C-alpha cells in the first residue's frame, strides 16, 4: 500500500513556495523601480482579487503578476483565464479608486532559475 505524505509536509511545502513567491515579488519590485517604474502597491487586495504589484510608468498603470517558475511556458500556463480576469477587474477597481484616467496594462514577470527576470509587457488582454 502506498504511503501518503503527512499533512505537515504539504504545509511546509506551501510555506516554502509562499516564501519563494514573496521573495520573487520583492525582487521584481526592485527591478521595476530600477527601470523607472513607481511602485504604487504590492499585494493589493480588492473584492475581485489580488494583484502582486501595481506600478506606474508615465501615464500607464500596470498590474503585474509575478511567477517564480523554472521556465516561461510553465509561468504562462499557470496564469489561467479566470485569474487573468480577476486581476483585470482588480486593476479596474484600483484605477477607479485613485481616479486614474490613463491606460491600464496587464503584465507578467517571471523569476526563473538563478534569479533571471523576464518582464512580459501586455502579457494578456482583459475580456
Q: What are the residue boundaries of the structural domains of the chain, listed by start?
A: 7-120
Distance in angstroms (rounded) separating the CA atoms of residues 27 and 126: 26
Distance in angstroms (rounded) separating the CA atoms of residues 6 and 11: 9
- The closest alpha carbon to 66, from 89, 86, 50, 81, belongs to 50
Instruction: Judge contact between 118 and 110, C-beta under 8 A.
Output: yes
Please give the CATH number for the structural domain made up of 7-120.
Answer: 3.40.1350.10
Whole-prediction pTM:
0.86
pLDDT digits (tens, 9 = 90+) for 16-62: 888 888 899 999 999 999 999 999 999 999 999 999 999 999 999 99
Amino acid at each position: 500500500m502506498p504511503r501518503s505524505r503527512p499533512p505537515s509536509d504539504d504545509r511546509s511545502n506551501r510555506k516554502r513556495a509562499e516564501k519563494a513567491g514573496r521573495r520573487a515579488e520583492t525582487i521584481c519590485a526592485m527591478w521595476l523601480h530600477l527601470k523607472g517604474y513607481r511602485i504604487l502597491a504590492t499585494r493589493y487586495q480588492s473584492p475581485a482579487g489580488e494583484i502582486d504589484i501595481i506600478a506606474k510608468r508615465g501615464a500607464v498603470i500596470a498590474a503585474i503578476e509575478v511567477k517564480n517558475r523554472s521556465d516561461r511556458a510553465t509561468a504562462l500556463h499557470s496564469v489561467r483565464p479566470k485569474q487573468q480576469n480577476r486581476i483585470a477587474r482588480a486593476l479596474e477597481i484600483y484605477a477607479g479608486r485613485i481616479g486614474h484616467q490613463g491606460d491600464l496594462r496587464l503584465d507578467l514577470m517571471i523569476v526563473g532559475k538563478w534569479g533571471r527576470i523576464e518582464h512580459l509587457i501586455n502579457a494578456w488582454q482583459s475580456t
